[in-house]
Amino acid sequence: MVKVLVVDDSALMRKALKTMLTDSGDVEVVLARNGEDALDVLGREKPDVVTLDINMPVMDGLTCLAEIMREQPTPVVMVSSLTERGAMATLEALELGAVDYVAKPGGTVSLNMADATAEIVAKVKKAAGARVRAGGSLTARLRRQREEAAAAPRLQRRSTPGSTRSTAESAADLVVIGSSTGGPALLSTLLADLPADFAPAVVIAQHMPASFTGALAGRLDAACALPVQEVTALTKVEPGHVYVARGDADMVLTRRGGDLVARPTPAGSQYRWHPSVDRLTASAMECVDPTRTIGVLLTGMGDDGAEQMAALKARGGRTVAESEDSAVVWGMPGQLVARGGASQVLHSADITAQVLAWA
């Protein structure tokens, strides 16, 4: 039985969320009207997961989230509007420690809730098993972890035979990154550690709706020394630049007149998640030497990216899977490890250093 605390100032929304969750089976729901009420209920009920609205009176969702992460770390799924303002607030929530987010049905709840039910139920139940640690925001935790890593070797670091290469063999032209649940905040931290003279191009497939990926690219650009942009049209891929796939679609790499270009393309029906990490990685191997390509598969549910990054390693590329002890959800990287496709399995605090060593 999963206990869920639903926090929303709308009585109608509270009722709708309670109904969909309890009707799914094996879920107990408790309710709160605002952030202040939620903190009181949280202390009494000890829920497994919290759904949290952003805009509420008395205490808003972001303030409440910060208190939850500080006082009683619990998996939180934000219930967000798919607007530019909602996207920015949601990304801030993810950096504060929220596990995931779902779109808040717009208009009349009864007309929109059926379409959102499956996603909300799946994400809430999955979040109940997500890894959440005390100690503030993800950025602060990773900073501390990097300091600890510098002082002592990490015990969880593993490598596969042949993963150590000479300096000449280690040059790279391209880094492909895939992530989903828990990924946005981690991307911000990892990219912030790349120096301004980082040579390879970086392409990113983060599972998100189209209304969020532009905001994500903007936040990454502000946090990173490298230029970051969302790919919304045919775009030449330049060394030392970062390219984010547009949400609700896929991004593929190809050659045009000898230049490497990124192209947005409609979501392929043969791929379950979008933007597809598998599709991006497969296209990269067709136009960039796999031995000069690095694949990084971060936290996320499912197995997107595992098949093609394993193929990348088999063709001489180097790959990193985020380790189970740091991933919010060890689905995608876990599947890469299960396929024998990870050159390195690393704690999130160690990933950028390994990419820099290879690149």
Q: Which domains, ranges and CATH numbers included, belong to the chain?
A: 2-127 (3.40.50.2300), 138-358 (3.40.50.180)
pLDDT of residue 346: 98
The mean pLDDT value for 83-91 works out to: 86
H runs (alpha helix) in 77-209: 84-96, 109-127, 138-151, 183-192
Q: Give the single-character DSSP code of 330.
A: B
pTM of the model: 0.87
Active site residues: 180, 207, 304
| pLDDT at residue 159 is higher than 50 | no
pLDDT of residue 103: 83
Tens of pLDDT along 214-237?
A: 999 999 999 999 999 999 999 999
Number of H helices, E strands in the chain: 12, 16
C-alpha separations of 147 from 37, 140, 142, 317 in Å: 37, 11, 9, 29
Q: Give the single-character DSSP code of 47.
A: -
- Among 145-154, 164-173, 323-332, which stretch is predicted with the lowest mean pLDDT? 145-154
Which helix or strand (DSSP H or E) is residue 57 part of? Answer: none
Tens of pLDDT along 303-334?
A: 999 999 999 999 999 999 999 999 999 999 99
| pLDDT at residue 107 is higher than 60 | no
277 neighbors 321 (Cβ within 8 angstroms): no
The mean pLDDT value for 84-106 works out to: 87
pLDDT of residue 84: 76
| pLDDT at residue 93 is higher than 50 | yes
Pairwise CA distance, residues 150 & 318, whole Å = 23
Tell the burial category of 225 from Cβ atoms under 10 Å away from its Cβ (0-12, 13-18, 19+): middle
Question: 183-192 and 210-223 are packed helices; what angle lies between their axes, rounded to 10 degrees?
Answer: 30
Pairwise CA distance, residues 314 & 127, whole Å = 33
Q: What are phi and psi of 313, to 5 degrees?
A: -65, -40
Question: 61-71 and 35-45 are packed helices; what angle lies between their axes, rounded to 10 degrees?
Answer: 30
Residue 105: which pLDDT band, with cuts at 50, 70 and 90?
Answer: low
41 neighbors 50 (Cβ within 8 angstroms): no
Residue scoring higher pLDDT (105 or 269):
269
334 neighbors 310 (Cβ within 8 angstroms): no
* Buried b or exposed e, range 280-303, using 16+ CB within 10 angstroms: bbbbbbeebebbbbbbbbbbbbbb
Q: State CA 317 to chain mean position distance.
A: 23
Residue 119: which pLDDT band, with cuts at 50, 70 and 90?
Answer: confident
| pLDDT at residue 156 is higher than 60 | no
Beta partners for 322?
346
Dihedral in degrees, nearest 10, Cα atoms 267, 269, 272, 276: -40
- In this structure, are strands 249-256 and 259-266 parallel, antiparallel, or unpaired? antiparallel
Q: Give the single-character DSSP code of 46.
A: -
- Among 58-67, 163-172, 198-207, 290-299, which stretch is predicted with the lowest mean pLDDT? 163-172
Pairwise CA distance, residues 245 & 283, whole Å = 13
Tens of pLDDT along 120-143?
A: 999 999 999 888 876 555 555 445
182 neighbors 78 (Cβ within 8 angstroms): no
